[in-house]
Structures are given as C-alpha cells and as structure tokens.
Amino acid sequence: MRKLLEMLDRVDRRVIYLLMALSVFIPLALRLSYPIPVGQGPSQDLFKAIDSLPSGSVVLVSYDYDPSTMPELQPMAVALTQHMFTRGHRIIAMALWPQGASLSQEAMSAVGDSLGKAQYDDWVNLGYTVGAGVSIVRMGSSIRAVFPQDRDGFPYDSIPLLTRVQSLRDIDLVISLSAGDPGIHAWVMMAGDRFGLPVGGGCTAVSAPEFYTYLGTGQLLGLLGGLKGAADYETMVREGRGNTPAGLATPGMAAQSISHLVIMAFIVIGNISYLAVHKRRKGAPK
Amino acid sequence: MNWEIIGIWLGAVLTLMLYSFLYRDNPFYKFAEHLFVGMSAGYWVIYNIFNVLKPNFWDELTGAGDGSPDYFMIIPGIFGMFMLARLVPKIAGLSRMALAMIVGTGAGLSLVSTLQTNCLSQIEGTIMPLSGVGTMGFIDNLIVVVGVVCGLVYFFFSKPHEGLTGKAAGVGITILMVAFGASFGYTVMARISLLIGQAQFLLFDWLPTMGIHL
C-alpha cells in the first residue's frame, strides 16, 4: 500500500495526459450518449424567453467569438437559430469580434437553408463592427449608421427585413454569444441597462460564473454556459420533434462527463497520496 | 486538387504537432507554434486593413461607400497617424494626444454605464426579502445576503479579524472559496470542451479522409 501511494505521488504527468485523452476519444469513437436532463435554470429561461416571443419578432444575435471557442459556442448558435426559425422569428446577425461574422454566416445559412428560410427576408448578416460599446450606443439611435450595408455589401435600405428596423428600439430581443470582451458585458451595459432591451446570452464555460450575477438581478434573461448549456438547448429544441439529429454539443457530453470523472479521481488520489506520503515524511526521524 | 481535404490534413497535422508538446518539447511543436504566431500576425494585419481601416476610414473619406466623401474623417486619420509616432522617439509625444482621446471617450462613455450595471444594479440585487418567499426562497436569499455581507467583511482591513469580525470574515472567505471552486469547475469544463471539439475534428473529419469511418 505504501509503495502504491508513493508511486501515485510521483505519477508521470504524461500518464495523466494519456488517460485524459482516452477518456475523451473513446466515448466519442464509441458514440456513447448520456441522457441530458434539463431542469429549471438559465438555459431553460432563455429557451422560454424565445418561445414566448410572438411569431415574426426580430431578434438580434451578436456573434462575439472566434474559431478558438467554436466547440462551445457554435453549437449554441446553431440550436438557437433552429429554435428561432421554427418559432417564425426573424434574425439580424452581427459581430463584435471580426471572425464572428464568418461564423454567423456559416450557422445562419446552414440552418436557414435546411428550414427554407430566405436571406434578407427571414435573416440578414450585417457583419462585423469595431467599437463595441460605442457601436451599440450608436445603434440605439440608428443601426444604419453603424451598418450602412450588410456583410455582402447590400445597402441597408434595400434589405426587406430591415425596412421597419431603424434602431435597437425596434428589436424584440438581443442575444450575445460571447467568448470574452466585447460580448455579453457590453450588451447588458449598453443595450440592456441603457436602452431597456431584454438581453440573453451564451458564453464559454470559463466566463459563465461572472455572468451569473446578471441573472440574479434580471439584467440577463437567460444564459447558456459552455458545452453543457449548448447541449441543454439542443435537448429542449429536439423535444417533441421526433428523431431529429442530436446536434453538435450533445454527442460530446458523454466524453465531458467521463473526463470529469477522471479528473475527480486524480484529484482524490493525488490528495490521498500526498497526505499519506508527506505525513510519513514529517513523522520520520531526522 | 481538393482544397478541403488539404485543409483538413493541415489542421490535423498541426493539431498533432501541438499536442506532441504534452510528451516533451520538440521541433515539431516549435514549428507549429512559430507558424501559428507568424500566420496570426499576418492574418490580423490584413484583416484589420480590409475590415476596419478600409470600411471605417478610407471608404468614408473617399466616398467609396455611399458616394459622398466625408472629409471630417481626416481628423481621426491624423489621430491614427499620431499613434504611429510612438515608433519615432523624437515625436513620440504626439501619440499621447491620440491616447488621451481614446481614454477620454472610453471613460466618458462607460463611467455611468459601468456604475449602473456593475455597481448599483448589483447592490439592488442583494437587497432581498427574507419573508413571504417560501422556505427555499428564504434559504436562497439568506445565503446571498449573508454571503455578500461576510464577503465584504473579509475585505475590511481597518479592524483586526478577531471575535465576531473574524467569524464573519471566516464565513466570507469560505463563500469566496466556494465561488473559486465553481469557477475552477467551469474552467475545467471549458478546457475539456475545447479538447472534445478538436477530438471530434480528428475522429470525424480527418480519419474519414483515410477511409476510416467510426
């Protein structure tokens, strides 16, 4: 037992990396799936907020992330777009991060095409803007001033979806998919607290805890946190829709759960072996 | 030539090169790292020229967008040039004027909003009823109120943390540790999510290019 504890105390970090890799790759390769129960919480709050909007509402989705956080945020974008389109909402996409404009185009065109939604009538991609908070404040008086044309160069006034949308006051809901700053924080501060717009969000798991304070005060309607938030949303969108595909996040949840178990096991084993070995060394005669 | 497959292979090989660092530092890792840094720098220069500078400055100045030139854009253009003055020590002071404009605008714009969003609204959020909210509501609200008060006591350094103050500070640091633990848990989840994303790419995008379908 003592030898085992000493061996565990000196375990090579590469063994840990290998076990972590196996705990991720094997469940994915075997396509393991775990049930994802969605209880009351910020994911469901966002779902209900979108569900309760009347059909034809205009939702502004800001893609405030880049490819480095795609595994967490792109599944949210796809699931949210599916939900909004099936509810008959119209979507205005934009980005406060440069590469967000391309990622939004990818999500919107893929989902839009699969559901028969037309660009410029049901959705539009305004592209990227610099300035973050400054641009949001400007959009409060005129969206056209910030985006005189869409991402593909079509003039703002020639886009049917935007004929009745002059400023943020004509938007029914804002959703920021955020990997950092600028992102949810800027939208809550400028669009939510300044113009009184309802704001929802999706973010990387790293930044989720800082936004929980906005949920408590009602400054955020709902929040999708990391891959789990995306999987929650996919589950809610799929409910009642039969054998629809599992989405992008749900297949990763088994790997996520198993790798978390491995990490927990290492934390417990590491602490036990550390305490046992070092306690003995402390008590040993000098 | 199938560019999609070439792209997938490039992504997969570079991913494996970067992960090889987990075994030990090696030339493959260094190559991928340097390639990433160089490519990123080049990419961002070009991206900023065509997606920031051109539409927001040059097209406005020359009227390339709506046909009417806006000569007032010369002013921000000059301030932008001032930022580059940092590269010439003799006239480096000019960049302070541009920085002053950025700092002044940023502070003026966000001062009130930050105070409202992150201070006043958050204080308001901690003023909670302890009656008429049911048992669970009472417990929830009590945890928030006690947690905020004790957390603040922990950061109150004008009085020694002894007696009642010490006990309150102890509760405060316990609450803070719970918060740090939750934050750490979320961080672990985020990092694993990124690994899962890359694993899905290798398993379901790269392996099929070699005829291996899982």
For residue range A114-166, what is the model confidence (pLDDT) as tens digits? 999 999 999 999 999 988 888 999 999 999 999 989 999 899 999 999 999 99
Q: Is residue A98 less than 8 Å (CB to CB) from chain B?
A: yes
Cα distances (Å, whole numbers) of residue B66 to A147, B62, B159: 12, 10, 64
A148, A205, A252 member nearest B66 (Cβ): A148
Residue A286 pLDDT more than 60? no
Nearest to A71 among B22, B56, B197 (CB): B197
What is the pLDDT, as a whole number, of residue A232?
94
Distance in angstroms (rounded) separating the CA atoms of residues A281 and B14: 45
pLDDT digits (tens, 9 = 90+) for B79-113: 999 999 999 999 999 999 999 998 998 888 888 88
Residue contact A226–B52, C-beta within 8 A: no
Mean pLDDT of B40-57: 91
ipTM of the complex in this document: 0.88
pTM score, two decimals? Answer: 0.89
Q: Is B25 helix (H, G, I), strand (E, B) or coil?
A: coil
Distance from CA of A14 to the nearest CA of B (A): 6
* A104-110 contact pairs (CB < 8 A, 24+): A104/A61, A104/A63, A104/A77, A105/A151, A106/A74, A107/A74, A107/A77, A107/A78, A107/A81, A108/A81, A110/A78
Token pair listed for B66: 């709506």
Mean of per-residue pLDDT scores for chain B: 92
Residues of A in contact with B140 (CB under 8 A): none
**Domain extents in chain A:** 2-32+253-283, 42-245
B68 reaches A (C-beta below 8 A): no
- Output the CATH code of domain A42-245: 3.40.50.10160
Burial A123-137 (b: 16+ CB within 10 A, else e): bbbbbbbbbbbbbbb
Q: What local confidence, expressed as pLDDT, does residue A103 receive? A: 96
Best mutation site among B117, B177, B180, B184 for testing chain A: the one with the most A CBs within 10 Å? B117
Least confident range from A6-15, A127-136, A192-201, A213-222: namely A6-15
Question: Hey, which residues does A155 pair with through a beta bridge?
Answer: A149
pLDDT, greater one: A240 or A42: A42
Is the minimum CB–CB distance between A69 and chain B shorter than 8 Å? yes
Contacts of A15 in chain B (CB under 8 A): none
Please check whether residue B114 touches A, CB under 8 A.
yes
Q: Is the pLDDT of residue A223 over 70?
A: yes
B134 CB within 8 Å of a chain A CB: no
Is B4 in the A-facing interface, judged by CB distances under 8 Å? no
**Residue B113 contacts A where some CB pair is shorter than 8 Å:** yes
Cα A205 from chain centre: 8
Interface test with A, best of B20, B39, B48, B193 (most A CBs within 10 A): B193
Q: Where are the alpha helices (DSSP H) in A153-221?
A: 184-186, 193-195, 208-216
Closest CA in chain A for residue B187: A206
Band (pLDDT 50/70/90 cuts) for residue A284 is low
- Residue-level pLDDT at A276: 85
Cα dihedral sign for B64, B66, B69, B70?
A: negative
What is the arithmetic mean of pLDDT over A41-52?
A: 95
pLDDT digits (tens, 9 = 90+) for B126-144: 988 888 889 999 999 999 9
Distance CA A81, CA B177 (A): 37
Residue A243 has pLDDT above 70, yes or no: no
In a 13 Å sphere around the CA of B8, the CA atoms on its Cβ side amount to 15
- Say which residue, B208 or A244, is predicted with more confidence: B208
Instruction: For residue B75, name the pLDDT band (cuts at 50, 70, 90).
Output: very high
Q: How far is CA B183 from the centre of its chain?
A: 15
Which residues on B lie below 8 Å from A204 (Cβ)? 190, 193
Which of B186, B200, B206, B213 is the best mutation test for A, with the most CBs of A within 10 A? Answer: B186
A219, HSE (Cβ side, Cα atoms, 13 Å): 30
Please indicate whether, in this complex, the C-beta atoms of A190 and B188 are within 8 angstroms of each other.
Answer: no
Query: Which residue from A99, A279, A92, A62 is spatially nearest to A185, judged by alpha carbons?
Result: A62
Q: Cβ contacts of residue A59 below 8 Å, gap of 6+?
A: A50, A53, A84, A89, A90, A91, A92, A171, A172, A173, A174, A175
What is the rounded distance in angstroms from the CA atom of residue A158 to the CA atom of residue A120?
9
B116 touches chain A (CB under 8 A): yes
Q: Does A213 touch chain B (CB under 8 A)?
A: yes
Q: Between A70, A128, A194, which is nearest B113 by CB?
A: A194
- In this complex, the residue of A24, A29, A31 whose CB is nearest that of residue B195 is A24
Quick check: helix, strand or coil at residue B17?
A: helix
Across B55-123, the runs of DSSP E, i.e. the strands, are none
Q: Taking the CB of residue B75, how many other CB atoms lie within 10 A of it?
A: 10
| Average pLDDT rounded to a whole number, residues B30-59 | 93
- Per-residue pLDDT band at A283 (split at 50, 70, 90): low
- Provide the β-strand partners of residue A95: A128
Query: Which residue of chain A comes nearest to B50, CA vs CA?
Result: A98
For residue A101, give every residue at least 6 positions away whose Cβ sits within 8 Å of its Cβ, in sequence order, or none: A63, A94, A95, A125, A127, A128, A151
Q: Are A139 and A193 in contact (CB under 8 A)?
A: no
Which A positions 147-166 lie with beta carbon below 8 A of chain B?
Answer: 148-149
Q: Is the peptide bond before A182 cis (omega within 30 degrees of 0)?
A: yes
Tell me what pLDDT residue B178 has: 94
Using DSSP's 3-state secondary structure scheme, residue A94 falls into strand
Which residues of A are less than 8 Å from B194 in CB distance? Answer: 68-69, 71-72
**Region A252-265 average pLDDT:** 94
Nearest to B86 by CA among B76, B96, B78: B96
Distance from CA of B176 to the nearest CA of A (A): 12
C-alpha to C-alpha distance for B125 and A188, rounded to whole angstroms: 15
Distance CA A227, CA A248 (A): 9
State how far the Cα of A107 lies from the Cα of A76, in Å rounded to an integer: 10
SS3 B67: coil
> Are B199 and A251 an interchain contact pair (Cβ–Cβ within 8 Å)?
no
Report the alpha-carbon distance of residue B94 to residue B98 in Å, rounded: 7
H-type alpha helices, chain A: 2-9, 13-29, 42-51, 70-86, 100-114, 133-141, 143-146, 184-186, 193-195, 208-216, 226-238, 253-283
Helix (H) or strand (E) holding A128: strand A123-128
Rounded Cα–Cα distance for residues A220 and A45 (Å): 10
SS (H, E, C) B34-48: HHHHHHHHHHHHHHH
